[in-house]
Amino acid sequence: MRIARTLFVTVLLLGIVFSVISIPKIIKVKEITCRSQYGRCSEEIDKELDELKGRDFFETKKKIKEILSNNQRVANFMIQFKFPAKLVIDIVEKKANFTLKSANAYALVDKEGTVLGLERSSPLPFIEIDSLPPNVGEKVNKKYLFGLNLIYSLHNSYQVKGGKVENESLVVRLPSGIKVIFPLEGDEAVLTGSLKVILDWLNEDIKVTRIEKKVEMIDLRFKNPVLK
């Protein structure tokens, strides 16, 4: 009697182990949902995950880990199985601060200057360049990063959406219509501070001198700013 009971328990345990191992191989994943702290995952990630539908659970989970581990935009992720055949993926995306705009795409760039991904559009502050942006995972050059940081500051202070790199300089247009030219190197705080002083001077009410201060361009590439 004791032998029969032991044999029954052994067979039962083996059956459970076999089920745990084999069922995930039988299950075909029919749905994959991806979400991040910002809402839906990027088009790039969604497209790669969609191609995994129809594979078994183990293979799909392995491929998902490979895709997300090698993606520059993903800082961390978690995969959950939902009965009967759904995978829910939660990811933590690295934050892009600004973008490099080229003819074909927007390169998302973080504060260290690393390109996190490419998108067809972006609401982030940008600088427009004539050349191709670096590949995903590579860093932008120092001049571009300097320009991006300038645009980020101007966006916060004056709601400037973007600028363009022309002749080794950054050209932006303020909401007031004034054109501002910045160098692509130097001290960012000094440049933005100089711009603020000039704009404050232009906006003050002149009651004594009655001098008309009509300025269309501010050039900050020189030691002494040039106003035209």
Domains of the chain: 2-93 (3.10.20), 98-227 (3.40.50)
Mean pLDDT of the chain: 86
- Do 215 and 228 form a contact (C-beta atoms < 8 A)? yes
Question: Does the pLDDT at position 41 exceed 70?
Answer: yes
Question: What is the per-residue pLDDT for 209?
Answer: 47
Strands (DSSP E) contained in the chain are: 31-36, 39-40, 74-82, 86-93, 98-101, 106-109, 115-119, 126-128, 162-166, 169-173, 179-183, 217-219, 226-227
Q: Using pLDDT thresholds of 50, 70 and 90, give the confidence band for residue 130.
A: very high
Question: Does the pLDDT at position 208 exceed 50?
Answer: no
Question: What is the per-residue pLDDT for 147?
Answer: 97
Percent of the chain with pLDDT over 70: 85
Residues 202-216, mean pLDDT to the nearest whole number: 64
Tens of pLDDT along 63-76?
Answer: 999 999 999 889 99
Tens of pLDDT along 83-99?
Answer: 888 999 999 989 899 99
Q: Using pLDDT thresholds of 50, 70 and 90, give the confidence band for residue 10.
A: low
User: CA 135, CA 76: separation in Å to the nearest integer?
Assistant: 21
Tens of pLDDT along 141-185?
Answer: 999 999 999 999 999 999 999 999 999 999 999 998 999 999 999
Question: What is the per-residue pLDDT for 102?
Answer: 93
